[in-house]
């Protein structure tokens, strides 16, 4: 049976060639969209490393440009802003940072230990940052006043970076270098995904900001608010900070709003891919339907003679559907061979690869089967007399 169907498909290779190409492209598009979606889903299920709830962001525009133009007075005013914010009645904790979680941007740098030099994302934060963001240390401690006057800057790193730098060695107490700067690892966290729930897990490091004109002060304050605090309290915060921030401009927004904007940015490519895939699948479905309908019409004598020879309607119905599934299989095989080479050039998890292939196959074969239902039903209604009239 299969050999006979292969001969039929081969004889109509010109008419089915373009259709097979559309099916192959459809499989690749569905696979790509599924791979992106599953990757985001897997990332969503992983620990985030911080708690964004009840956190507000105070952006401080100091009109200072460049990294080396800070005066001691300006640095001290930034530290005073953080202390004033921490004294507010509904502020549970306050901390400063150069990079707000979920915001675009960030700094990547090379960290060296021996002959190892991985690239890591990093942020420069004040002592209160850990309490504001709810960071959970799995080893060591967070930096604080005990590190004042230290000749080696204390840093806290995540486990991912610790594995790349030290392997199975104990990371706490190790001295690493970043250019001419030396840092001592004093704490270890499990994870911190700066770009949010949909981002991949990677290397991360926190360095300490101290009130020193040679060190960049924080550009933003993060405030953990008491649960139930409403937006009306923003005015109280601005009134408290304005006398300290004379000549500077302050703006406040909840971290949840920054998170929402980040989600929209990250999900935009997936939504576009879904729309493209939907239109492509619709075109392929219409193409399959049209080609099958035309084939059934042209094969009136062949299908009618099968009925005249005693073939049941179910047998004719099965033949048309099997031909369609065979065409789909011949189209999917080269596309599948191409997809299986992806792990050689792209970092894709085996589970994501396998599940994306499964989604692509299910969608393409389901589409083919549904497209062939009506033409195959027409084929079963052809009366034997219609075929005998041609003889």
Question: Rg of the chain's alpha carbons, rounded to an integer?
Answer: 32
What are the CB-based long-range contacts (under 8 Å, 24+) for 134-140?
134/50, 134/51, 134/224, 135/49, 135/50, 135/189, 135/192, 136/189, 136/190, 137/187, 137/188, 137/189, 138/188, 138/189, 138/190, 139/171, 139/172, 139/187, 139/188, 140/172, 140/185, 140/186, 140/187, 140/188
Q: Which residues, at least 6 apart from 246, have a Cβ–Cβ distance to it below 8 Å?
A: none
Tell me the pLDDT tens digit for each residue of 92-146.
999 999 899 998 666 788 899 988 889 999 999 999 999 999 998 999 999 988 8
The whole-angstrom separation of Cα 57 and Cα 253 is 5
pTM of the model: 0.79
C-alpha 353/C-alpha 184 separation (Å) is 39
Distance CA 12, CA 256 (A): 58
For residue 311, what are the CA distances in angstroms to 213, 295, 303, 323, 376?
91, 19, 9, 17, 14
C-alpha–C-alpha distance, residues 143 and 206, integer Å? 10
Q: What is the DSSP secondary-structure string of 95-120? A: EEESS-TT-S--EEEE-BBTTB--EE
* The two three-digit tokens of residue 71, written as one number: 């005066």
Q: So where are the chain's domains?
A: 2-45+267-388, 64-246
Tens-of-pLDDT digits for all 391 residues of the chain? 555 545 555 555 555 667 777 788 888 888 888 898 899 899 998 889 999 999 999 998 876 555 455 677 778 888 899 999 999 999 999 999 989 999 866 678 889 998 888 999 999 999 999 999 999 899 999 998 888 888 888 999 999 999 999 988 899 999 999 888 899 999 999 889 998 898 888 899 999 987 766 677 888 999 999 998 998 999 999 989 988 888 888 899 999 999 998 888 888 888 888 888 788 777 777 766 666 666 655 555 565 555 556 556 666 666 667 777 777 787 888 899 999 988 888 888 888 999 999 998 998 888 777 776 666 666 566 566 555 555 4
Element housing 379 (H / E): helix 350-380
Residues 349-373 pLDDT 10s: 888 999 999 998 998 888 777 776 6
Q: How far are the Cα atoms of 6, 183, 295, 323 from residue 305, in angstroms, in the given order? A: 20, 85, 15, 18
Structure tokens at 218: 């924080």
State the Cα–Cα distance between residues 338 and 158, nearest whole angstrom: 36
What is the Cα 23 distance to its own chain's centre? 27
**Cβ 225 vs Cβ 90: under 8 Å:** yes
Instruction: Measure the CA–CA gap between 332 and 194, rounded to whole angstroms.
Output: 39
């Amino acid at each position: 049976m299969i050999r006979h169907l292969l001969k039929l498909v081969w004889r109509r290779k010109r008419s089915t060639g373009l259709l097979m190409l559309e099916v192959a492209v459809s499989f690749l598009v569905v696979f790509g969209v599924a791979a992106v979606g599953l990757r985001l889903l897997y990332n969503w299920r992983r620990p985030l490393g911080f708690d964004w709830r009840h956190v507000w962001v105070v952006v401080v525009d100091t009109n200072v440009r460049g990294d080396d133009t800070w005066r001691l007075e300006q640095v001290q005013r930034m530290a005073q802003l953080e202390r004033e914010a921490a004294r507010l009645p509904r502020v549970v904790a306050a901390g400063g940072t150069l990079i707000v979680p979920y915001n675009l941007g960030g700094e990547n740098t090379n960290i060296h230990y021996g002959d190892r030099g991985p690239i890591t994302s990093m942020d420069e934060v004040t002592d209160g940052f850990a309490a504001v963001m709810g960071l959970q240390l799995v080893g060591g401690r967070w930096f604080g006043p005990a590190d004042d006057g230290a000749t080696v800057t204390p840093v806290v790193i995540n486990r991912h970076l610790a594995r790349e730098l030290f392997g199975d060695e104990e990371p706490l107490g190790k001295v690493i270098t970043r250019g001419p700067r030396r840092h001592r690892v004093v704490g270890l966290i499990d994870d911190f995904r700066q770009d949010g729930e949909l981002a991949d897990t990677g290397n991360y490091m926190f360095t300490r900001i101290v009130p020193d004109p040679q060190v960049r002060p924080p550009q933003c304050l993060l405030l953990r608010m008491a649960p139930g605090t409403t937006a009306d309290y923003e005015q109280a915060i601005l009134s408290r900070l304005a006398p300290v921030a004379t000549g500077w401009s302050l703006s406040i927004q909840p971290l949840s709003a920054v998170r929402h904007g980040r989600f929209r940015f990250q999900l935009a490519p997936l939504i576009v891919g879904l729309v493209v895939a939907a239109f492509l699948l619709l075109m392929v479905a219409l193409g399959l339907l049209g080609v099958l309908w035309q084939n059934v019409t042209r094969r009136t004598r062949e299908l009618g003679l099968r009925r005249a020879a005693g073939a049941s309607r179910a047998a004719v119905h099965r033949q048309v559907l099997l031909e369609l599934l065979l065409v789909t299989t011949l189209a999917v095989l080269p596309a599948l061979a191409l997809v299986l080479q992806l792990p050689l050039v792209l970092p894709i998890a085996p589970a994501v690869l396998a599940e994306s292939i499964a989604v692509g196959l299910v969608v393409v074969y389901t589409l083919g089967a549904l497209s062939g239902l009506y033409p195959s039903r027409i084929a079963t209604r052809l009366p034997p007399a219609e075929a005998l009239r041609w003889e």
